[in-house]
Amino acid sequence: MFIAVLSYTKPLECVDKYLAEHRAFLAEEYAKGTLLMSGPRKNRVGGVIMIKTDTLEEAEAILSRDPFRIHFIADYNIIEFTPTLFCSDALSELL
């Protein structure tokens, strides 16, 4: 499991220019089952994406198709973790 923390490197006008493409990318990955959740960070300084893959290389390959990455709109800090505790049986099905 991976968390990608995005930090915008461009002004919000640039972010907004690619936002529809970014959301289309996210929708495509949700349909494949590789993303579990995503959303903007407070104050629109970036975003967070939770990715369900086995390796960092797979997570990197997925994120390499993100228009925000392709157009250098955001930096990506990718954090690998192993979920061991969670609050709901519904989440256990996702993990």
Dist CA 86 CA 95 (whole Å): 10
Q: Which residues does residue 86 pair with via DSSP β-bridges, in sequence order? A: none
Domains of the chain, CATH where assigned: 2-94 (3.30.70.1060)
Residue entry with tokens 């973790």: 81
pLDDT digit string (tens) for 62-86?
Answer: 999 999 999 999 999 999 999 887 7
Beta carbons of 75 and 7 less than 8 angstroms apart: yes
pTM: 0.89
Nearest CA to 48 out of 28, 81, 82, 74 is that of 74
Beta carbons of 9 and 37 less than 8 angstroms apart: no
pLDDT digit string (tens) for 7-39?
Answer: 999 999 999 999 999 999 999 999 999 999 999
